[in-house]
């Protein structure tokens, strides 16, 4: 097979419209607003369950698990959704597989009590029922998931 240089979008044959990209970013703005307000049940309403979670472990492994809605809600509460004094700034890069699947890489900073932490994580959104829904998250912050 020949190795040719093309942009990933051109190679895959799908290039999203500006409206599609804006729709994904608007979905995240809504999700982030729920997270900031501690509205964990509303966050869960924006997901397709079970949610797949891929993380890392102390031994360098990459465990993957599926969370039920109940597990998701519990974990998001444990992670401090809606916690006072937490500020998040993020830059998101959507990478569309097609019009119904998009990987989104997020580079974010969290400021807690004056201390800033930088993180990178990824999410897979699926378009279902005419709306985006969260389905898979990949992050080093969940330990053994």
Please list the pLDDT of the chain residue by residue as tens digits (145 residues).
Answer: 444 444 454 455 789 999 999 999 999 999 989 988 889 999 999 999 999 999 887 777 778 899 999 999 998 888 766 566 667 788 999 999 999 999 999 998 878 788 888 889 999 999 999 999 999 999 886 554 4
Residue with tokens 């890392």: 56
Q: DSSP assignment, residue 60?
A: S
**Which pLDDT does position 110 carry in this prediction?**
79
The whole-model pTM stands at: 0.81
Instruction: Name the nearest CA neighbour of 67 among 58, 78, 59.
Output: 78
Beta-carbon contacts of 137 under 8 Å, excluding residues fewer than 6 positions away, are 51, 52, 53, 54, 121, 122, 123, 124
pLDDT of residue 142: 57
Q: Residue 137: exposed, middle, or buried by beta-carbon count in 10 A (0-12, 13-18, 19+)?
A: buried
At 6 the pLDDT is: 42
Which neighbouring-strand residues pair with 66?
Answer: 52
Q: Are 139 and 131 in contact (CB under 8 A)?
A: no
Q: Distance between CA 51 and CA 40 in Å, rounded?
A: 14
Region of 36 please: left (phi>0), alpha (psi -120 to 50) or beta. alpha
CA–CA separation, 126 and 77 (whole Å): 24
């Amino acid at each position: 097979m020949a190795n040719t240089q093309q942009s990933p979008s051109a190679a895959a044959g799908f290039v999203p419209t500006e409206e599609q990209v804006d729709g994904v970013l608007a979905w995240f703005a809504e999700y982030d607003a729920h997270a900031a307000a501690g509205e964990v049940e509303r966050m869960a309403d924006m997901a397709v369950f079970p949610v797949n979670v891929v993380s890392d472990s102390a031994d360098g492994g990459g465990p993957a698990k599926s969370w039920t809605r109940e597990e998701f809600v519990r974990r998001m509460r444990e992670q401090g959704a809606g916690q006072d004094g937490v500020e998040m700034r993020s830059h998101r890069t959507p990478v569309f597989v097609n019009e119904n699947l998009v990987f989104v890489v997020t580079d974010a900073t969290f400021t807690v009590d004056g201390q800033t932490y930088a993180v990178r994580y990824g999410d897979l959104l699926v378009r279902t029922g005419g709306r985006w829904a969260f389905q898979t998250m990949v992050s080093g912050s969940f330990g053994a998931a």
